[in-house]
Amino acid sequence: MFRRRRPNEPPLDKGVIPWLGYALDFRDNSAQFLQKMQKKHGDIFTAQIGGYYFTFLMDPLSFGSVVKEARFKMGFEEFAHELVARVFGYHNISGDHKHLQTSSTKYLMGDGLLVMTQAMMENLQNLMLYSVGSRQGTNIWQQDGLFHFSYNIVFRAGYLSLFGNESAKQAGSTEKAKEMDRLHSEELFNEFRKYDRLFPRLAYAVLPPKDKLEAERLKRHFWNKLSVKNCKNKDNISGWISDQQKFRDENGMPEHMQDRFMFVLLWASQGNTGPSSFWLLVYLMKDPEAMMAVKEEIDNVIKSSGQVVKPGGPLLNLTRDMLLKTPVLDSAVEESLRLTAAPVLIRAVPEDMNLKMADGRSYAIRKGDRVALFPYVAVQMDPEVHHEPHVFKYNRFLNADGTKKVDFYKNGKRVKYFSMPWGAGSTICPGRFFAVNELKQFVFLMFTYFEFELLNPEEEIPPIDETRWGFGSMQPTHDITFRYRPRL
């Protein structure tokens, strides 16, 4: 509380409340708070938040000085471990993060992604297309909330692809096993959404007593449902999940703590892709030109694969190679993430250090402080980097020749980190390729097998829920109703 700014340190703003500082302002609306502080102090400042001092870097041209810094000089693991222990009840072991990165590279990228793409395809087909061609699948419009529908389908298919399917042998038949997958994944999603709604306040440790009890109940529910014991009865468990279990088992972790880690993996892998699929669909549906461009590209990719989607015919087999031929959809995905993904990247400072800015200025950062980037405000919504930043432009990340656009500028200088929905550097999301594939597969099936439209085409896109800033993909303040029916 007696801290004073020293020579060469960034502007210091402790707020008026001892110890808490700006904790409430940051929790209630991080984006608004940082915009106000940037206007007051400039592109770098130190703020007191809940007993810690955070130095926020708001100049995207200087992001490399944080992203590229060696981990021993600027780490994130201490902060991450505190959060995971508070929110999920999981306590890490030595080598945790390194093994997770290695395992994710093996199973969620490259050749491993081939296997995961196929698993995701089969589970999406089971959830979305099981009634196509049957009497249930007649041309009747069905209504749902677009956020609920998108989150529900993508979460459940991703969960089944990672954690495995019901055993056909135990269920009695393949069809019975698929039906059980549909039923129990629906139940799991409903419980997950209850936890998901509590998550921001749980992360900030401000849950009222009644909600604390509910959070503990939900934690125990997921520890049981995702337990190592239950996983052993599943078929098609992904290599990513089984490898995590094996590593922790071999390193002597108690089984109850392994169960808790499975819940961490479920949230990390599925807590963002569902909301992201909603934003992608709603932005496309509100932009007829974008809808037409994406639909045309999807039709061309299917046609060039030699497949024909028709009544009574085989279901579409969407391969990873097909997903690599969608520059228009890729740009639309990246644009929707630019508008709605807002993680905070935090690094702990174990020793006194100097932070160099792109303009040559250097600032002293104290041992024990934290350095933070909030790309949503600092670059993704910067009108100089992205013209009309609040407008969805499906081709923003496309060059005129159809190639991926990566050249964006600020003050006449190229911005390397022009959009950071996945983080960057050593903390970049290791499952980002699988997550993008999930989004694209979902959109492919929606456009190929369904007609869909907003119930009220004039209804505005819902605003972002400001209480969730900093936790990845944002969520809307309310749902928006749409209707859909099978094309076939």
Model confidence over 340-360: pLDDT tens digits? 999 999 998 999 999 999 999
How far apart CA 360 and CA 233 sit, in angstroms, is 59
Asked if residues 30 and 22 have their Cβ atoms less than 8 Å apart, the reply is no
> Tell me, what's the pLDDT at 76?
67
Q: Spell out the residues 6+ positions from residue 242 whose beta carbon is closer than 8 angstroms to its own.
A: none
- Binding site, by residue number, is 86, 272, 370, 429
At 204 the pLDDT is 87
Q: Is 238 helix (H, G, I), strand (E, B) or coil?
A: coil
User: For tokens 């999301």, what's the residue?
Assistant: 429
**What is the arithmetic mean of pLDDT over 63-77?**
73
What pLDDT is stored for residue 70 in this prediction?
57
296-310 as b/e: b if 16+ CB within 10 A: ebbeebbeeeebeee
**From CA 195, how far away is CA 187, in angstroms rounded?**
13
Q: Which helix (H) or strand (E) holds 371?
A: strand 370-373
Q: Report yes or no: 434 and 473 within 8 Å, Cβ to Cβ.
A: no
**H/E segment holding residue 409:** strand 409-410
The span from the CA of 276 to the CA of 177, in Å, is: 29
Neighbour tally for 68: CB within 10 Å: 11
Residues 48-76, mean pLDDT to the nearest whole number: 85
**388-433 confidence digits (pLDDT tens):** 999 999 999 999 999 999 999 999 999 999 999 998 887 788 899 9
Beta strands, E only, 387-449: 409-410, 413-414
DSSP H helices, 164-286, are 168-171, 174-203, 209-225, 228-231, 239-250, 255-270, 273-285
CA distance 232 to 50: 42
* Across 129-133, 154-158, 182-186, 293-297, least confident range: 129-133
With a cut of 90, say whether residue 1 has pLDDT above it: no
- Per DSSP (E only), the strands in 4-79 are 12-13, 44-49, 52-57
Question: 361, 419 in Cβ contact below 8 A?
Answer: no
Average pLDDT for residues 245-250, to the nearest whole number? Answer: 95
Task: Name the residue among 267, 280, 281, 257 with its Cα closest to residue 159.
Answer: 267
User: How far is 15 from 349, CA to CA, in rounded Å?
Assistant: 22
For the entire predicted model, the pTM comes to 0.95
Annotated binding site for substrate: 86, 272, 370
Q: Any idea which of 91-105, 112-126, 154-168, 242-256 has the lowest mean pLDDT?
A: 91-105
Radius of gyration of the CA atoms of the chain, in A: 23
The beta strands (E) that lie in 81-213 are given as 142-145
Q: What percent of the chain has pLDDT over 90?
A: 85
What stretches of 271-343 show up as alpha helix (H) in DSSP? 273-285, 288-304, 320-323, 327-340
Distance CA 132, CA 430 (A): 35
- Give the pLDDT of residue 488: 66
Q: Which two tokens stand for residue 113?
A: 């992604």
381: pLDDT strictly greater than 80: yes
What residue numbers does the annotated binding site for heme cover?
429
Question: What pLDDT, in 10s, does the model give residues 7-44?
Answer: 999 999 999 999 999 999 999 999 999 999 999 999 99
pLDDT grade for 53, boundaries at 50, 70 and 90: very high
